[in-house]
Amino acid sequence: IFEEFNKAYAYSDGHGRYGGTGLSLAISKRLAELHGGTLTLESRLGEGSTFTAVTPYSLAAPHQGMPISAAEGPELRDLHILVADDNEFNLMVATDELTDAIPGVRIDVAH
């Protein structure tokens, strides 16, 4: 199922039950492997399938430099930012962070 152009539900005419080229899982597996990981499949007849992608990552070292603030960066006078997200919490966090980091910033919010 992880081979290129392979479909689990292919008909004799070569067209898959759900369409597509049969490349998605092959590409996904290759991407996981390029990151040193794996893509596995657990399937139970009549119940469904579970795909698991595992990629190893190490924690980054804590940032040792000076904090970045608007005072240290380029001049940001009259900055007007549009923040768009479909999640209210994300909008609140982004708006709060921008307001704290850039004094006088004008922010419009879109859902």
For the chain, the structural domain boundaries read 1-56, 80-110
pLDDT, the chain, mean: 80
- Answer yes or no: is pLDDT of 11 > 60: no
- Non-local CB neighbours of 105 within 8 Å, separated by 6+ positions: 76, 79, 80, 81, 98, 99
Place 58 in a pLDDT band, splitting at 50, 70 and 90: confident
**Residue 102 amino acid letter:** I
Backbone φ and ψ of 84, nearest 5°: -125, 130
pLDDT tens readout for residues 67-104: 555 555 566 778 899 999 999 999 999 999 999 888 88
Please check whether residue 69 is in contact with residue 75, taking contact to mean a CB–CB distance below 8 angstroms.
no
Please check whether residue 66 is in contact with residue 91, taking contact to mean a CB–CB distance below 8 angstroms.
no
pLDDT tens readout for residues 14-47: 554 556 667 788 899 999 999 999 999 998 988 8
